[in-house]
Amino acid sequence: MMKINKIREMSSPDLEKEVSELKSELFKLRFSLATNGLDNPMRIKQVKKDIARVKTILREREIEESNK
């Protein structure tokens, strides 16, 4: 699980890369859940929340840039 402070320290390109990595992880988790089950089904929920956190920070920065 990613902490919000750690996310805020990352640069925007790094955050966009992180979103794509999290989305691919989410896809793999969903795929393995459908095929053979997961050891930790709560991991899907954690990954979704991490994606939302990163996207929120990206959006905050976008709004901040447009207000300048």
How does pLDDT run across 4-22, given as a tens digit for each residue?
A: 899 999 999 999 999 999 9
Per-residue pLDDT of 21-63, as tens digits, reads 999 999 999 999 999 888 888 999 999 999 999 999 999 999 9
Beta-carbon contacts of 48 under 8 Å, excluding residues fewer than 6 positions away, are 26
Distance CA 47, CA 68 (A): 32
Full-model pTM? 0.89
- The pLDDT, as a whole number, for residue 68 is 78
Contact status, residue 61 vs residue 7, Cβ threshold 8 Å: no
Distance CA 16, CA 5 (A): 16
Structural domains in the chain, sorted by start:
4-66 (1.10.287.310)
Enter the tokens of residue 18: 């992180």
- The pLDDT, as a whole number, for residue 28 is 95
